[in-house]
Each structure stands twice: as C-alpha cells, then as structure tokens.
C-alpha cells in the first residue's frame, strides 16, 4: 500500500509508520489524517503486526497541524468547527485507543497537535535536541486533546499550556513525564524498535487487555469526560474567534504564514 504523506513498513511483527512531509516539518494536514487512519486500519487488522512505531522523516517528528491547510479551508461556524476538531481529536486518540501498543519517536520538533499525539502514544522516545510544547495560545488557538494534565499533573500542565512553552527540552519533557526515555540524536528509532520487539513476543491478547485496563484507569478518573469538555470549549473559542486569532489569520491571508508567525513571535517578545 502506497501513501502520499506517509511510509508504512513492517519489520518482523513491528509496523513502522513514518510521517513523510519533510519539506514542511511533517505538518499534519487533512490528507495526513486520512492516510494515517487507513494505515492504522491495515495495521490493526493484521494479526502479524503486534506493535506500532510512529516517527517522522527529515528534521522533525512534526511541527503540528498544517496551518496552511486549515487556512485554505476557511472554516467557520460551530458546526463546521465541531466536525474538524472532532476529526483532529479522533486522530490523536487513535493511538491511545489502538488495541496494539504505540510508540512515538520524537526528534527535532514535536509541537502542538504532534505533542498531543506523542503523549497519546503508549510510550514516547525523545532524541537529544528535541523541543516539545504547545504554543497554541500564542495566536489564540486551542489545545485539541487535553491529555497533558493526566500525564504531568496540573501544575506542570498549567505552566506549559498557559505559558505556551514551545521550547521544552527532551530532558525536561522526560523529567515531567511527557516522554519515557531520552537517547542520543539518531538513536531514537533503534531504542523504539528494541522496546517494540520485546513487546511483540508477548501474547497479543494479554497485551491488548492490559493496555485496556491501564486506559480504563484513566477513564475512571474522567479522561473521556475531560476531553469532551475541552472539545466543546475549543469549538466555542474557534467559532467566536479570539482577537489574536483573527489578527493572525488576517496577516496570514494577506502576507503569508511566515509573516503571521513573525507577528506571533514579536507579540510574545513584547516587540
């Protein structure tokens, strides 16, 4: 099976799924979401594949959602935003809910929705030099999947999300619980494959049910309800459009995305 935005290969009982849009730091477009869902359908239906390793080609795991893609769609109104943001949330949680273990390998940048995606995977390996974070509040946007409080606890989640910190080092990410291991640059895939191969020899049903039990513990703490509450609030924010988001979109439409990002960064620096 061939894809435009991904590569999918099997190494023994491990499926390796790789974002393949290196020219735009593997930004997550609607096409990427659709192809990931097709790939995951194939992986989950294949009894010969036991574990999923998710990585990114080029200089980054992913810089997050494709802002050009969303700007071109000219989304407006609560109903349309509900459809889009629900699709985004389902895409992220696909890796949390997969019956097979999922391992993310982050390098370069792992930001915004990509950071949420890495958290939604069962394990995350970070290479030295990787930056994590969710900068959405810098331009009045929303956090699609409010997973971080369950991963780090409320104090760290508020610091990172309300501060829109997008320069969280791999080491800090490990210390606050965002990732499992930090390895030298270029060694992330090797570490992930070693862990995946160890899981792949386990009884598949036992692994599936154990993952289900762990996820069930978070469900009992209200994870699903919290995600739905966040989704409803995100729709409200996007549908009403904050002043900073409107300015960001107006600059992007007139002068391009780079100009809008420059405005965002200057605003944060007090310029």
For residue 62, the 8-state DSSP code is B
For residue 201, the 8-state DSSP code is T
Kindly tell me the burial class for residue 218, based on how many C-beta atoms sit within 10 Å of its own C-beta (0-12, 13-18, 19 or more).
middle
Torsion angle, CA of 66/72/74/78, rounded to 10 degrees? -20
Residue 233 vs residues 141, 151, 176, 227, 229: alpha-carbon distances, Å: 11, 21, 26, 10, 6
Q: At 41, which helix (H) or strand (E)? A: helix 30-45
Nearest to 211, CA basis, from 89, 111, 51, 99: 99
Q: Which position has the token pair 């990732």?
A: 179
**In the structure encoding, which two tokens stand for residue 70, read together?**
């969303």
For residue 269, the 8-state DSSP code is T
CB under 8 Å, gap of 24 or more: what pairs does 150-156 form?
A: 150/218, 150/221, 150/223, 150/226, 151/119, 151/177, 151/178, 152/176, 152/177, 152/178, 153/177
Please give the angle made by the CA atoms of 243, 239 and 73, to the nearest 5 degrees: 95
Bridge partner list, 196: none
List, by residue number, the catalytic residues: 136
């Amino acid at each position: 099976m061939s894809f435009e935005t991904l590569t999918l290969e099997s190494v023994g009982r491990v499926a390796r799924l790789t974002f393949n849009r290196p020219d735009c730091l593997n930004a997550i477009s609607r096409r990427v979401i659709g192809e990931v869902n097709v790939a995951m359908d194939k992986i989950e239906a294949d009894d010969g594949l036991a574990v999923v390793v998710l990585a990114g080609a080029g200089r980054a795991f992913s810089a997050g959602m494709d802002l050009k893609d969303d700007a071109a769609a000219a989304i407006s109104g609560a109903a349309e935003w509900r459809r889009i943001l629900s699709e985004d949330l389902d895409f992220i949680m696909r890796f949390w809910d997969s019956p097979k273990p999922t391992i993310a390998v982050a390098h370069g940048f792992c930001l915004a929705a990509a950071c949420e995606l890495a958290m939604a995977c069962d394990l995350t390996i970070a290479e030295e030099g990787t930056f994590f974070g969710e900068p959405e509040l810098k331009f009045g946007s929303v956090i699609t999947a409010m997973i971080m409080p369950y991963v780090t606890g409320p104090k760290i989640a508020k610091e990172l999300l309300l501060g829109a910190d997008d320069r969280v080092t791999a080491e800090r990410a490990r210390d606050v619980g965002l990732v499992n291991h930090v390895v030298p640059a270029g060694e992330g895939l090797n570490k992930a494959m070693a862990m995946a191969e160890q899981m792949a020899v386990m009884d598949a049903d036992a692994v599936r049910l154990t993952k289900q039990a762990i996820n069930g513990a978070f469900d009992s703490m209200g994870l699903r309800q919290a995600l739905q509450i966040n989704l409803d609030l995100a729709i409200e924010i996007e549908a009403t459009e904050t002043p900073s988001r409107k300015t960001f979109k107006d600059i992007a439409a007139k002068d391009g995305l780079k100009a809008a990002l420059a405005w965002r960064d200057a605003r944060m620096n007090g310029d």
